[in-house]
Structure 1
Amino acid sequence: MPSSTPPLPRPAATGSAPASAPVSVSRRTAVWAACADAALILIFAAIGRDAHQRGDIITGVFSTAWPFLAGAAVSWLALRIWRAPLALWPSGVGVWLGTVTVGMLLRAVTGQTVVLPFVIVALLSLGLFLLGYRLVAAVIRRRNTRRGAA
């Protein structure tokens, strides 16, 4: 005989989303956000390689991008970004700073160039990319929420 006890309430989100946002995020949204992060990191590497006119287009982009892709993966796991992947704070800021920090550490350990101008460019570019699409998504969500409420 099935139990007649009501289901337990879901815990409230803490700081990463407004109280009216759903607690759980669809798996599709998390996968989309992870793919967007990876694609934007690859674009960052491709733009940088193109600006410096380096050969080996495909393998070169991956050799430049892998430390940052690893940094993004570490950030996603350490901060459990899949819980609110499109939130600017803490997800967007966390993946941005984690990507740059771990990426630069891995570049240094593997003998790749880590100079202050590159760190600044990486911070600015990846900040624009990784926070930018999350900001656009937030604006679209707000606009759709207002239309639904009207």
Structure 2
Amino acid sequence: MGMFAAVSNDTQHALAVMLEDDEFVDSYVSENKRRLKKSYELLTSHLEAAQVKYMPACAAMFCWLDLRTLLEVPTFQAEDNLWKEIMEVTKIVLTPGGACHYAEPGFFRACYASMSPDCLEVACARLADFVTRKRRKRKANGI
């Protein structure tokens, strides 16, 4: 929103006052780290259980998933098709690697910082179920 409209003076002042409170900032940063770690561990435990490869994150809000084995062919068009299928079937919005200028198709960025642990649990279960069904279907079709 800041690109299209300036932040009001009142809001700027309130944020400045808040950020001057060292005790609050220290507490906020500590709690944020704790929550991010918990969400990351929840996500990666589900990915490992579903045998989904991922790139380990370090102090991040997202994790790169390696879904190359689910592509029909190794192209960015196939990545886009898989992205749409994941979104339609699971109602999960991942970011395809191509949208982030990733060099190879089949990688997807999953943001785990933007939802509660309960919602993340549901999203992980849906994604794991999707991956399992997709693998079974590909195996049954000899792919």
Q: TM-score, normalised by structure 2?
A: 0.30
Q: TM-score, normalised by structure 1?
A: 0.29
Flag the structure with higher helix content: 1
